[in-house]
Chains A and B, each alone.
Chain A
């Protein structure tokens, strides 16, 4: 594969090729080791003192931040749970209270109604009694007058029948026997 134009340079190369293949040419070893030591030393120094601490710091910051955020999220979640629990407790308390108020109101209203009804019943009873008394009075009065009317009627009837009015004493006696 050698180029034709390069035959001139190829001869010395071939002569030099006794030293071999470049990677096995020991005359270059000292220089390569020296420069490798220098450059690798510099790289090691930079890595150890700058790059590695910096990247480690970045990663650690991120890890801390994530851990912190997760902790914060957990804390907030716990707060939320507590808030929900207290809300539910308040709700059930309110429900109980409302129930109590309803019961109380109902009892109060019932008591009031009872009182009012009792009062009304008492009043009605009184009025009934008064009315009964009144009726009884009227009845008595009417009955007492019945005697007079019957006496007058009887006296008038007797006068018509016999042409002579009965005496007061006879009349009273007759009425008494008739009405009893």
Chain B
């Protein structure tokens, strides 16, 4: 199945575990989740172990990641939003490292499964809902009734706001999932062309140069997408958290 572009998304059980009829096996996906967490944690902890006043190169990478996310959260949600910083930073690091791991050949891309991205999106939305009600009480519902809207339009606007709020976890998860999935499929298809064409003799090998160049270009694009989607996921998380903190627009 070397050329099947879908094969790379197959879940394979490594340690089958079944509890009460539910399949909770440790799979290749689980393995890469563990690897993602281990790599992200190890990088951040090891590079900062020197606690250098003047950072080493790797330490400044960790600091940049920290300040990047901190700046995003502070800009979007204000200083009160900083209480969510560990969660937002974890999300960013998890998505980023999982996406980048997906760029290695034969590695599994954790974020190419909708259930994973949806679970992360629900974590964000549930945090917004719980914290929103906890902090603002019923005032949180003002989120759905924008100020300065004529009374006649309020039912319509409120409906739209509710629908847009409910679609947030879907758009948040589908955006990440679809980007990773589509990117990897495209990459696989083009690199598949290289292999198929090069079996067709001299002309084929010559013709394979085109998809090869495309594959190289797409790889660069995918690295960009891997970072960009982690950024987009995080920045939207920050904006949604801002709604929980300041529900009246």
Contact = CB atoms under 8 A, between A and B. Distances in A.
Interface string A14-55: 000000011111011111111111011011101110111011
Contacts of B48: 51, 54-55, 58
Q: Is chain A's interface secondary structure helix, strand, loop, or mixed overall?
A: helix
B234 to A, nearest CB: 13
B1 A9 contact: yes
20 contacts: A3-B3, A6-B1, A6-B2, A23-B112, A29-B115, A31-B26, A31-B29, A32-B11, A32-B30, A36-B119, A39-B30, A39-B36, A43-B41, A43-B90, A44-B86, A47-B44, A47-B89, A52-B66, A52-B89, A56-B66
A37 B45 CA distance: 21
Interface of A: 1-3, 6, 9-10, 13, 21-25, 27-37, 39-40, 42-44, 46-48, 50-52, 54-59, 61-62, 65
A10 B1 CA distance: 8
Interface residues on B, range: 35 or more
Given A36-B119, A46-B45, A59 B177 contact: no
Contacts of B59: 58
B37 interface: yes
Interface in B1-46: 1-4, 6, 9-11, 17, 22-27, 29-30, 33-34, 36-37, 40-41, 44-45
A59 B51 CA distance: 9
B51 A36 contact: no
B30 A1 contact: no
Contact of B67 (A35, A46, A47, A59): A59
B147 to A, nearest CB: 35
